[in-house]
């Protein structure tokens, strides 16, 4: 369900989008590996990969060796079981790596799946993640349930209310030469540019910093609404749908 929020500035726009996101989200699902993989160690390492590795970050202290693996999910099936299978594959391939100075292998292993390299630019945008700590008997897996539901729904023959609303929005944006995901990325970059400008003008932050960001956002959004004949509700929908459907 999409929630329409009356907004008067970009700050309120983002707040409205966040409220819509939280209101429609069932929360990230958490499962232990035993819930979905009874024998998680028996992963076939010669099967076709469902992911592309894009980064590995390791850190070490005398009492801890942490290995974080980041990957793009390359399959077209967006179900929790399919994502879990990819995560367990990453975990099995990397958990025994001998890449540390004072540890034979990692004491903490994390694996994160993203829908694209673009979404990886913000590491909080994972669609599924796995974490195995030193006191965990098995890895724990979490999902971005809202995004999983949205992307998996595109593979069935039944249109949800959200998918119907998304089609309407896409048609309207298309008539004005816009595309949802690229337009959303443009809006986010615009807002970040305004924050950077305020950072330069008021490095100590404070009320002047916030006022400048609001002023720049308000002016830019007013121009966009006039140019593309957009309403505040449409801009909110752009943010909310992009969080769920953009890869």
Domain boundary among 112, 143, 174: 143
pLDDT tens for each residue of 144-200:
988 898 888 766 667 778 788 889 999 999 999 999 989 988 998 999 999 999 999
Domain boundary among 111, 143, 175: 143
Whether the pLDDT of residue 83 is over 60: the answer is yes
Which three-class secondary structure state does DSSP give residue 72? strand
pLDDT tens for each residue of 203-240:
888 889 999 999 999 999 999 999 999 999 999 899 88
pLDDT tens for each residue of 2-25:
433 333 344 444 444 444 443 444
Dihedral sign from CA coordinates of 216, 219, 223, 226: positive
User: Would 2 be classed as within a structural domain?
Assistant: no
Long-range pairs, 175-182, Cβ under 8 A, ≥24: 176/228, 176/229, 176/230, 178/228, 180/238, 180/241, 180/242, 180/245, 180/246, 181/242, 181/245, 181/246, 181/247
User: Would 5 be classed as within a structural domain?
Assistant: no
Both 18 and 35 in a single domain?
Answer: no
Whether the pLDDT of residue 108 is over 50: the answer is yes
Structural domains of the chain, count: 2
Residue 3, both tokens: 């929630």
Rounded-to-integer distance, Cα 128 and Cα 185, Å: 21
Q: Which pLDDT value is given to residue 49?
A: 82
Q: Is 205 exposed, middle or buried (0-12, 13-18, 19+ CB in 10 A)?
A: exposed
User: Would 238 be classed as within a structural domain?
Assistant: yes
Domain boundary among 121, 143, 165: 143
User: Would 102 be classed as within a structural domain?
Assistant: yes
Both 139 and 159 in a single domain?
Answer: no
User: Would 3 be classed as within a structural domain?
Assistant: no
CA 36 to chain centre: 23
For residues 39 and 106, which has the higher predicted lDDT (pLDDT)? 106
Q: Is 157 exposed, middle or buried (0-12, 13-18, 19+ CB in 10 A)?
A: exposed
Q: Residue 143 is inside which H or E element, if any?
A: strand 140-143
Both 124 and 42 in a single domain?
Answer: yes
pLDDT tens for each residue of 89-104:
999 999 999 999 999 9
Per the CB < 8 A criterion, the answer to whether 170 and 180 are in contact is: yes
Q: Which pLDDT value is given to residue 2?
A: 41
Range of the domain at 182: 10-23+153-245
User: Would 100 be classed as within a structural domain?
Assistant: yes
Rounded-to-integer distance, Cα 36 and Cα 127, Å: 17
Both 35 and 126 in a single domain?
Answer: yes
User: Would 234 be classed as within a structural domain?
Assistant: yes
Whether the pLDDT of residue 32 is over 80: the answer is no
Q: Which pLDDT value is given to residue 18?
A: 44
Both 116 and 158 in a single domain?
Answer: no
Both 179 and 208 in a single domain?
Answer: yes
CA-based radius of gyration for the chain: 21
Which three-class secondary structure state does DSSP give residue 75? coil
Both 127 and 216 in a single domain?
Answer: no
Q: Which residues contact 83 (CB under 8 A, 6 or more apart)?
A: 73, 113, 127, 128, 143, 148
Both 131 and 170 in a single domain?
Answer: no
What single DSSP character describes residue 77?
A: -
Both 101 and 128 in a single domain?
Answer: yes
Q: Residue 109 is inside which H or E element, if any?
A: strand 108-114
User: Would 148 be classed as within a structural domain?
Assistant: no
The chain-wide mean pLDDT, for the chain, equals 82
Both 16 and 117 in a single domain?
Answer: no
Give the pTM: 0.62
Both 19 and 35 in a single domain?
Answer: no
pLDDT tens for each residue of 36-54:
443 444 455 556 788 999 9
Both 73 and 139 in a single domain?
Answer: yes
């Amino acid at each position: 369900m999409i929630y329409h929020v009356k907004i008067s500035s970009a700050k309120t726009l983002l707040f409205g989008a966040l409220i819509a996101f939280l209101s429609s989200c069932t929360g990230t699902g958490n499962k232990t590996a035993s819930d979905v993989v009874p024998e998680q160690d028996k992963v076939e390492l010669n099967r076709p990969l469902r992911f592309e590795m894009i980064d590995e970050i390791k850190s070490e202290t005398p009492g801890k060796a942490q290995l974080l693996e980041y990957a793009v999910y390359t399959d077209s099936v967006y179900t929790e079981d399919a994502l879990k299978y990819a995560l367990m594959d990453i975990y099995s391939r990397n958990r025994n790596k001998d890449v540390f100075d004072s540890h034979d292998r990692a004491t903490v292993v994390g694996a994160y799946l993203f829908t694209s390299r673009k979404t990886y630019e913000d590491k909080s945008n994972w669609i599924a993640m796995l974490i195995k700590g030193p006191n965990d008997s098995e890895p724990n897996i979490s999902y971005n349930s809202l995004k999983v539901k949205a992307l998996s729904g595109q593979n069935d023959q039944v249109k949800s209310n959200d998918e119907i609303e998304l089609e309407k929005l896409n048609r309207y944006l298309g008539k004005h030469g816009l595309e949802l995901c690229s337009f959303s990325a443009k809006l986010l970059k615009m807002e970040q540019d305004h924050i950077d400008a305020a950072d330069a003008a008021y490095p100590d932050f404070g009320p002047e910093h916030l006022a400048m960001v609001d002023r720049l956002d308000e002016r830019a959004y007013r121009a966009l609404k006039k140019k593309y004949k957009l309403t505040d509700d449409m801009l909110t929908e752009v943010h909310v749908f992009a969080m769920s459907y953009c890869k």
